[in-house]
Chain A
């Protein structure tokens, strides 16, 4: 399973998201290849899931991956719920 954590530049915020997504996946025992990347690179990359903010999700509507929105990157409860609701364990 491939998951992209996407932000505008692929440097800062997507890395933060990736750290917390990897922690949540690890606690659930879900194996996944998680990458952090900028929006424009993400549009041409294949993936099973994309996790990103509300603002950037609109630009990824046409991507074949399922797009998962996280509003608070530091809220592990929200990140855990987003994964549970979208990614089968």
Chain B
């Protein structure tokens, strides 16, 4: 599993549309060979079909698709958007923190999700995600130092 490793994190990425924001985060998974490029298209397609239900909390989106859409390894990438983007979520717009989830059928999927829940259940850590300036600072938030 790969959870928010250095190559899976990008800060202050410009995106004007939800599709561009999803793609920016998904492309990090593709670049690290964790998902196939078709998976990113499936994430965008899922947004168009099912709407913004994956905007799970104020400012936080978790785009994903199905394991069979091309996931090689359970993984999470993180993009912080330069400017917030409206996804159409009545409760939680606009989005500035995008976590692209490589959803796998393996046991590691559960571990990845637990890591993510532990991070995002903590309001103080979420606030720090909005203000970090480097991957080094993210590592401190994640408790990896």
Chain A residues in contact with chain B, CB under 8 A? 7-9, 11-13, 15-16, 19-20, 39, 52-56, 71-76
Contact = CB atoms under 8 A, between A and B. Distances in A.
Main secondary structure of the interface of B (DSSP, over half): mixed
B95 to A, nearest CB: 13
Given A12-B103, A20-B121, A74-B120, A55 B66 contact: no
B14 interface: no
B117 A20 contact: yes
A8 B63 CA distance: 11
Given A7-B54, A16-B113, A54-B90, 16 more contacts: A8-B51, A12-B54, A12-B62, A13-B53, A13-B64, A16-B62, A39-B50, A53-B56, A54-B91, A55-B52, A55-B53, A55-B90, A72-B92, A74-B56, A74-B120, A75-B57
B135 to A, nearest CB: 23
B101 interface: yes
A8 B54 contact: yes
B8 interface: no
Interface string B52-76: 1110111010101111000000000
A16 B91 contact: no
Which range holds the interface residue count of chain B? 20 to 34
A9 B113 contact: no
B65 A19 contact: no
Nearest to B76: A12
Nearest to A55: B53
The 10 closest A-B pairs by CB, nearest first: A8-B50, A71-B91, A73-B56, A11-B103, A12-B64, A55-B53, A72-B57, A74-B120, A74-B57, A53-B53
Contacts of A19: 113-114, 117
Given A16-B116, A55-B51, A72-B91, A11 B58 contact: no
A81 B62 CA distance: 23
Nearest to B47: A8
